[in-house]
Amino acid sequence: QKEVEQNSGPLSVPEGAIASLNCTYSDRGSQSFFWYRQYSGKSPELIMFIYSNGDKEDGRFTAQLNKASQYVSLLIRDSQPSDSATYLCASPGQAGTALIFGKGTTLSVSS
Amino acid sequence: GAVVSQHPSRVICKSGTSVKIECRSLDFQATTMFWYRQFPKQSLMLMATSNEGSKATYEQGVEKDKFLINHASLTLSTLTVTSAHPEDSSFYICSARGVRSDYGYTFGSGTRLTVV
């Protein structure tokens, strides 16, 4: 059974700081990883996906993948109070199959 | 971008009745639809996977006779919760995947079901 693990938090950072969210996965064969943001009572919204080792940047967000360590992270620069949400890490069980989600990390950005 | 429309967004029903939730892919063909359930402060749990024109595959512990899934076309999938009970109260979310890989996984807006 493939698993995706996240620290549930809460992670608290001041406004303007860098928030670092981490995720580990059990299946060394996993190829793709997705980061979603979910506000309370809402559906998840995609922030980024990453397939290759290394970093991928999109605006204030940077995803980092280290397949050797089976580790995925999401960095949020210049954190804003509007970034306060639960961040979900996910990976398909197999290519094209359903996403397996971690339990999510709750981020709180204080102004 | 790819959009999945999910309705209703919120429904309250009496115990013992059935509720249908619809998910429509608006600008792409959803060859596969995934149905999730999320209880408060918990993560998304996969209930079932359906491919257009085929019977749904249910995850272990999910009653297929209680949660009826229909995926008769490439743009519409439905989840019917039959004989709903208060313990079925949850947030139900669909996720569609199209033929093109760059669409990834597109989520509906979710349905908050409350059974009273």
Are A101 and B107 within 8 A, CB to CB?
A: no
Strand-pair partners of B98: B30
Q: Which residues of B touch A34 (CB under 8 A)?
A: 104-105
Buried b (16+ CB within 10 A) or exposed e, A4-42: bebeeeebebeeeeebebbbbbeeeebebbbbbbbeeee
**CB contact residues (below 8 A), chain A span 45-84, against chain B:** 45-46, 49
| Averaged pLDDT, B67-76 | 91
Q: Which candidate in B10, B33, B44 is best for mutational testing of the A interface (most A CBs within 10 A)?
A: B44
Are B34 and A102 within 8 A, CB to CB?
A: no
- Rounded to a whole number, what is the distance in Å from the CA of A8 to chain B's nearest CA? 10
B97 interface with A at CB cutoff 8 Å: yes
What are the residues whose beta carbons fall under 8 Å from the beta carbon of B40, sequence distance 6 or more?
none
What tokens were used for A37?
């943001």
Q: Contacts from A84-87 at CB under 8 Å and sequence distance 24+?
A: A84/A108, A84/A109, A85/A37, A85/A38, A85/A39, A85/A40, A86/A37, A86/A38, A86/A39, A86/A40, A87/A6, A87/A21, A87/A35, A87/A36, A87/A37, A87/A38, A87/A47
Name the 3-class secondary structure at B83: coil
Residue in the structure block whose two tokens are 């009653």: B63
pLDDT in the model for residue B27: 85
pLDDT in the model for residue B31: 87
**Model confidence band, residue B102 (pLDDT cutoffs 50, 70, 90):** low
Q: Which candidate in B37, B102, B105 is best for mutational testing of the A interface (most A CBs within 10 A)?
A: B105
Among A46, A88, A103, beta carbon nearest to B104: A46
What are the residues whose beta carbons fall under 8 Å from the beta carbon of A22, sequence distance 6 or more?
A6, A7, A71, A72, A73, A105
Strand-pair partners of B109: none
Question: pLDDT over 70 for what percent of chain B?
Answer: 95
Are B43 and A88 within 8 A, CB to CB?
A: yes
Q: Which residues of A touch B6 (CB under 8 A)?
A: 43
pLDDT in the model for residue A95: 67
Handedness of CA B110, A106, A12, A35 (dihedral sign): negative
Q: Which residues of A touch B43 (CB under 8 A)?
A: 88, 101-104
Q: Which residues of B touch A96 (CB under 8 A)?
A: 32, 97, 101
- Rounded to a whole number, what is the distance in Å from the CA of B1 to chain A's nearest CA? 12
**For residue B101, is pLDDT > 60?**
no
For A32-91, what is each residue's pLDDT tens digit? 899 999 999 999 999 999 988 999 999 999 999 999 999 999 999 999 999 999 999 999
Name the 3-class secondary structure at B20: strand
Q: Which of A63-67, A95-99, B23-27, B81-85 shows the lowest per-residue confidence on average (mean pLDDT)?
A: A95-99
- Find the DSSP H helices in A1-111: none
